[in-house]
Structure 1
Amino acid sequence: MVAAWIVLVISGVLESVWAGALTRSEGFTKLWPSVIFGIALVASMAGLGYALKSIPLGTGYAVWVGIGVVGTAIYGIAALGEAVSVARIVCLVAIVGGIVGLKLTSPAA
């Protein structure tokens, strides 16, 4: 079960990687960001599939998406110069709180 959670977290991080690579690929016109996108997408989905063998679907998918959303937002702010505000940070913290809550209330499989 621990391995499934580790794989799920890594897969969530890879979701941020493919999202960042997608924007860097400029509509798949740049080779290396497009290659990174494809590899990260396949690895992320494979990891999610593996993790969902042991983790309940609703919890696993929500955690995976939440990690991807928060990671992608942080990447946008840090690397792409997207706007940062107290409201955005509060919303990201709320997402993290929801992820932690789902993990803590997830039934043991």
Structure 2
Amino acid sequence: MDGTGTYWIDMSPKWSSNDYHWRDHWMQAVYYLPQCMQVKKGETLSLKCSHDEFSMWFSVGKETIERIYCNCQLHTIMARQSIFSANELLENVQFRDEIKTVGGFSTQNLFRP
């Protein structure tokens, strides 16, 4: 985990075989706080963790943090990946057209469900 092999986090179950790579459900990561804060012993600090389908983000402060509600409400009805896909429609069409040009494929054969 530290790049030197000194520290290792392994989430594989004890019964797993070493003959194949175990795919962890958990993703180990380091998250940096948005701003640096000096904290003294005994001082209270509020840490807020937010998440969606794919990401986590944090905020920190000395005040109580209230829940933030969406104003646009778009992301309450669409997943982040769906919003991304909607913004990439033109690029998807250009990519499909390029594949047809390079590969000589017809749309009916290549992109049929």
Give the TM-score normalised by the residue count of structure 2.
Answer: 0.22
Between Structure 1 and Structure 2, the one with more helix by share is 1
Give the TM-score normalised by the residue count of structure 1.
Answer: 0.23
Relative CO higher for 1 or 2, CA cutoff 8 Å, sep ≥ 6? Answer: 1
Tell me which structure has the larger Cα radius of gyration: 2
Between Structure 1 and Structure 2, the one with more strand by share is 2
